[in-house]
Amino acid sequence: MSTYFTPVLTTERLVLRPLKTDDAAGLFAIFSDPAVVRFWSAEAWTDISFAETAIARALEGYRDETDIHFAVELVRGGQLIGTVKLHHFFNQNHRCELGYAVASAHWGKGYASEAIEAALDHGFREVGLNRVEADIDPRNEASGRVLEKLGFRKEGYMPQRWLVHGQYADTVNYGLLRSYWDERKAVRG
Ligand SMILES: CC(C)(COP(=O)(O)OP(=O)(O)OC[C@H]1O[C@@H](n2cnc3c(N)ncnc32)[C@H](O)[C@@H]1OP(=O)(O)O)[C@@H](O)C(=O)NCCC(=O)NCCS
């Protein structure tokens, strides 16, 4: 098993790279949008200091190689449009969790699918993961669609797991095994 180093990955339209200090304004623009945190048990950021704290934590994660945390930027123009994170690694079990967000102005263009695909490919092929888990609010249909397009399977349902903006919210548990990933890649080439 490798350590959890965050490399630079390139896809057709995106660059996935480590966050850096001067991403604070770009990150704040994404996570200060209530639409982005609509299904999260956290409020939208109200001050740039939230972004600075998040970046400081990411930099610690890079230093300690505990999380693979990508900033996602457009190849064309270099704008920061989202983040993808492989985190909560269980080294012994070759397993981790997946988190992601895309700025709402860029939804529906396939960017989440493209970025997450690159991150997962890195996780299965380079890091040696066997299983990736995601849990989402069942009302978050775009997120469920992204996971299912990438080959994740629904594995469970946990009622009232989170308190989301003052209301209990359910969770759908999704899982992706390396064997599903390899099969999907073999079919698609
Ligand atoms: C979930 C999220 C990352 C998707 O980003 P995106 O770049 O728009 O995703 P993509 O364009 O790759 O794919 C979205 C898919 O969902 C579909 N979709 C969008 N809205 C939908 C809805 N209301 N119902 C059903 N499907 C929907 C799109 O049509 C697309 O599927 P398709 O390729 O088959 O047409 C984005 O909405 C987001 O950042 N949301 C807020 C943060 C979040 O919820 N993160 C994940 C959960 S922790």
Spacing, Cα 104 to ligand 1 middle (Å): 10
Q: What is the pLDDT of residue 98?
A: 98
Q: What is the pLDDT of residue 57?
A: 97
Query: CB of 126 within 8 A of CB of 2?
Result: yes
Cα of 36 vs its chain's centroid, Å: 13
List the beta strands (DSSP E) in the chain. Answer: 9-10, 14-18, 68-74, 80-90, 95-102, 131-136, 153-164, 167-177
Residues contacting 187, CB < 8 A, separation 6+: none
Q: What is the pLDDT of residue 3?
A: 78
Query: CB of 23 within 8 A of CB of 16?
Result: no
Spacing, Cα 70 to ligand 1 middle (Å): 18
User: Would you tell me how many other CB atoms lie within 10 Å of the CB of residue 188?
Assistant: 6
Spacing, Cα 8 to ligand 1 middle (Å): 24
Query: CB of 40 within 8 A of CB of 139?
Result: no
Sign of CA dihedral 87, 24, 44, 141: negative
Whose C-alpha lies nearest to ligand 1, atom 5? 112
Q: What is the pLDDT of residue 189?
A: 73
Whose C-alpha lies nearest to ligand 1, atom 11? 110
Which residue is listed with tokens 């990150």?
A: 27
Enumerate residue ranges in the chain where pLDDT < 70.
Answer: 1-2
Q: What is the pLDDT of residue 111?
A: 98
Q: What is the pLDDT of residue 8?
A: 98
Cα of 148 vs its chain's centroid, Å: 14
Query: CB of 42 within 8 A of CB of 53?
Result: no
User: Which atom of ligand 1 lies closest to the CA of 143?
Assistant: 1
Residue-range domains of the chain with CATH: 9-130+141-151 (3.40.630.30)
Question: Which residue ranges have their beta carbon within 6 Å of ligand 1?
Answer: 36, 39, 99-102, 107-113, 136, 140-143, 145-146, 149
